[in-house]
Chain A
Amino acid sequence: MNAKTMLALCLTAFLLSKASAQNTGSSFKTLSPVVSVSYYGNILIKPGIKAGIEMALLQKNVNRKESRNSNQQVRIKQLTASADLGMLLFPGSHSALFNYYTVNYKNIKTETGKFNTVGIGPGIYRSFYSQTYEVDASGNVTPEGTEGRSYFAPVLVFGTGKYLSHGILQSWHFNTSIIFLFDYNTGIVPLLNFEIGTTLNFFKRK
């Protein structure tokens, strides 16, 4: 197990332990950690799944009066940290596993429960090919089985969503993420994915 993998696992373990330790209320007004489960990929053709854990680090209430006639609007600005693990599946070709950690800024409208998110953070991405054959300079062929490549893959996430009032189901979200694959052929290449998912609050107190 290399250092990068160790670091990734330690960070996930740390977030999970912090999440277990902070069992508070379930609404978006608290710093309760949540688990997210999403359908991930380019939506129609290359399906994938992603699961992660998100924990609020900082929270600030902002009172704002939008117009002369309306009531006072309350916004919650949150800074959250999340760790995500996912896979993209295209059998026989370019399947992949990825793991990323993001710091997210979340703007929540308390009246409607709607929120917008933007996040950024480092990650790793591992592609998996189907049957691979290596050919040397003399033209000798060696079957290699299933191969793949690993990339340093920071991610940029933009999203929107809404809090629900359905017990364990805390919210739904739609995110667009761009994973930047470093050293991909001769440079840096973005991988665009979409995500539709829900967050589950297992840490709610009765």
Chain B
Amino acid sequence: MKQTALFKQRFFAAYCFLLLQIVLFSAACKKDAGTMLSDIIYVRHAGADMPAYIYGNVNKKVFIVVLHGGPGDNGLDYRHGRAAAELEKEYVMVYWDQRGQGLSEGKFSKQDVTINLLADDLFALLRVLKYKYGNDVKIFLLGHSWGGELGTAFLLNAHYQKEVKGWIEVDGAHDIPKVNIETAKMILKTANEQIALGNSKKEWQKMVSEVEQTDTCNITVKQGRELNKKARIAEKLMLNDGFINKPESVSLSDAAVWYRQDFLTGSLSAVNFYLLNSAFFNQIETTSYTNQLHKITLPTLLLWGKYDFIVPPALGYSAFNHIQSSEKKIVIFAESGHSPMLNQPGEFVESVTEFIEKFR
């Protein structure tokens, strides 16, 4: 009898705990008081249902739409760390899960997926933001890595370009064939410098011997993926040798956001959507927008990590030279790799804030 009573007590306590958890999460998702916005909306467009997580200060009516990398990442990957927290204090950040990625749902054919379709999805998102928050909202796009390719594709459409006030490209891959060539060059150049300095000599020598075999005039898609893997190793070596600032550690709440995202579902959905979709995969890996960058005429801020081997700074300089905007600026972060928002969050926020305050 005593045992039964004890068991019942424990049982009751466990259910109370669960109930409390539900209540707390309900409360966490309600709109904050005052000017701080906390919203989750879904955009249904062309067979896809895409969530947009909207957080931040609505006072200035400035919305920064984050175009995540990958393909295969998700919007909320960009919400962790100091940079996002600081930007949310001033502006509204829109963390959008692109079609087929993150927690986006839907039903559509692999054959229909193109970069232009994702650009149309982005247009749909902007239409919804203006519908919901008013036509006077000022929208800036911030595209990182693959998000740089998507943002560029979007802005090449003159009609779409009118929807936004400014373009912030962060280590953006708007020309992957060029990325591959520049990655090979940067690895060889940096390797020689590092070998001379005696840093991670063995690893750099191994990388040189492998990369030297690549014919940079004729890099296949497969070789491009191999170079991408080497670029990640190179960035890690530079991080270990102290050239790149250590990224901010992931806090418990950041980890919780990642965990909440059903990471297995999101990742495997992206594998289906991208890696197992050879037509779309090849389109991304072979598209070059450099010769069309002159069509971009809106204020542009290009942010690049000096030691980004994945999308080397040469891409940033190339974009700076080709974009026809009278208001353009490039910032190279001296102690950053592919993600300056994590390596140098303070400087990153400063650059973004200065740009937005000038053009909002």
Contacts and interface: CB of A to CB of B under 8 A. Distances in A.
Interface stretch (B227-235, B267-275, B329-337): B267-275
Contact of A191 (B7, B43, B265): B265
Interface in B35-77: 39-46, 48-49, 51
Contacts of A192: 262, 264-265
B222 interface: no
Which of B22, B26, B42, B107 has most chain A Cβ within 10 Å?
A: B42
A124 to B, nearest CB: 15
A195 to B, nearest CB: 12
Interface string A148-172: 0100000000000000101101000
B33 interface: no
A27 to B, nearest CB: 16
Contacts of A149: 49, 105-107
Given A91-B25, A166-B3, A186-B113, A42 B124 contact: no
A166 B10 CA distance: 13
Contacts of B128: 133, 135, 141
B3 A187 contact: no
B127 interface: yes
Contacts of A144: 44
A144 B44 CA distance: 9
A139 B44 contact: no
B292 interface: no
B206 interface: no
B26 A91 contact: yes
B268 A190 contact: yes
A131 B45 CA distance: 14
Contact of A129 (B39, B42, B131, B277): B42
Interface string B120-156: 0001100110011000000000000000000000000
A35 to B, nearest CB: 15
Interface string A24-48: 0000000000000001001011110
Nearest to B51: A93
B166 interface: no
B12 interface: no
Contacts of A47: 18, 21-22, 25
A71 interface: no
B100 A141 contact: no
Contact of A131 (B29, B41, B269): B41
A133 B41 CA distance: 8
Contacts of B45: 134-135
A141 B127 contact: yes
A139 B260 CA distance: 31
A33 B311 CA distance: 61
Interface string B241-272: 00000000000000010011010110011001
Given A47-B25, A184-B105, A169 B44 contact: no
A133 B131 contact: yes
B283 to A, nearest CB: 15
A190 B265 contact: yes
Nearest to A182: B107
Contact of B29 (A46, A91, A185): A91
B260 to A, nearest CB: 4
Interface of A: 39, 42, 44-47, 49, 89-94, 127, 129-135, 137, 139-141, 143-144, 147, 149, 164, 166-167, 169, 181, 183-192, 198
28 contacts: A39-B18, A45-B260, A47-B22, A89-B25, A90-B29, A94-B51, A131-B41, A133-B132, A141-B128, A141-B131, A143-B131, A149-B105, A149-B107, A166-B7, A183-B107, A184-B105, A186-B100, A186-B108, A186-B109, A186-B273, A187-B272, A187-B273, A188-B272, A189-B268, A190-B265, A190-B268, A191-B265, A192-B265
Given A90-B29, A130-B42, A198-B11, 15 more contacts: A45-B256, A47-B21, A89-B25, A92-B40, A93-B29, A93-B51, A130-B41, A135-B43, A135-B44, A147-B44, A169-B11, A185-B48, A185-B99, A185-B269, A190-B268
For the complex of A and B, list the 5 residue pairs with the smallest distance between their C-beta atoms, beginning with the closest: A187-B272, A135-B124, A45-B260, A132-B42, A141-B131
